[in-house]
Amino acid sequence: MRLRMDQPRIIIRIFIVPRISLPGACMKADSFILDRRLYDLFQQGHLRQFTTQDLRDAYATHLTGITFNSSDLRRYVYEQIRRMLRIGWVIQDEKRQKRGQIFHWQGIPVNLQLELIDHGYESSVKQVSSSLHQALHSLDPEQPAPSVIEHLESILKEIRLDFLSSMGEAERYKQLLDEMPHLKDQVETEYLEARDRSSRLLGHLRAVEKTLKTVASAR
């Protein structure tokens, strides 16, 4: 069984051109997907220095009328910070802290192809909720607890295999792009799809794990 929840997204491509270009040089843009709300927050200029909580609280002000879990929102925001760290868009403060780590905005990296998506947080929540709904919907309420647990463990095993396969696919595409950058135009789309699929499956995996834990503890 392969679970795949594709969410529609609106994409705007923004090309950041390097300030200095050498004659004859050909520089290809690197693709990066970012939540439009985060992009707008950073463009306002008051988050040049921030913590995860600062960014979460600022993001929450844009969720008026939307029910959300603060812990889930914090995890979502932190994951976006980690992605931005990897490309140098954000850096950690020299003083490292276990809690309240300070980050510094560095501006958009040159030669970056930025893809802005709408409703990023809501989409991430829907993916996990949909996975949980599917797992619960497939259960027979008349089944004894051991049968329910066995069924959940079976679902968990299938999702874990799909997740590992998708993650391995994304890693291999990344290696190929690093080793043969001239293939970027041909395989980058497949790499991004495999990476996004891995993220979705991780949400499914966590949802079923939590469900299994809840059912087991209720016995």
Q: For position 126, what pLDDT does the model report?
A: 61
pLDDT at 219 over 70: no
Overall average pLDDT of the 204-212 stretch: 84
The Cα–Cα gap between 93 and 103 comes to 5
The Cα–Cα gap between 103 and 49 comes to 6
Based on its alpha-carbon atoms, the radius of gyration of the chain, rounded to whole angstroms, reads: 20
Q: What count of residues does the chain have?
A: 219
pLDDT at 5 over 50: no
What interhelical angle do 120-137 and 36-43 show, nearest 10?
150
The Cα–Cα gap between 103 and 106 comes to 9
Overall average pLDDT of the 24-42 stretch: 75
Sheet holding 103-105, edge to edge: 49-50, 103-105, 90-92
Q: Give residue limits of the domains in the chain.
A: 1-118, 138-219
Range with the poorest average pLDDT among 5-9, 29-33, 144-148:
5-9
Q: Topology of 1-118 in CATH?
A: Arc Repressor Mutant, subunit A (1.10.10)
Spatial CA neighbour of 106 closest among 51, 39, 48: 48
Structure tokens, 8: 């529609």
Q: For position 159, what pLDDT does the model report?
A: 84
Label residue 185 exposed, middle or buried (CB < 10 Å: 0-12, 13-18, 19+).
exposed
pLDDT (tens digit, 9 = 90+) per residue, 109-119?
A: 888 888 888 87
Spatial CA neighbour of 133 closest among 219, 213, 79, 210: 210
Q: For position 7, what pLDDT does the model report?
A: 47
HEC string of 58-105 equals HHHCCCCCCCCCHHHHHHHHHHHHHHHHHCCCEEECCCCCCCCCCEEE
HEC string of 176-215 equals HHHHCHHHHHHHHHHHHHHHHHHHHHHHHHHHHHHHHHHH
pLDDT at 101 over 70: yes
pLDDT at 11 over 70: no
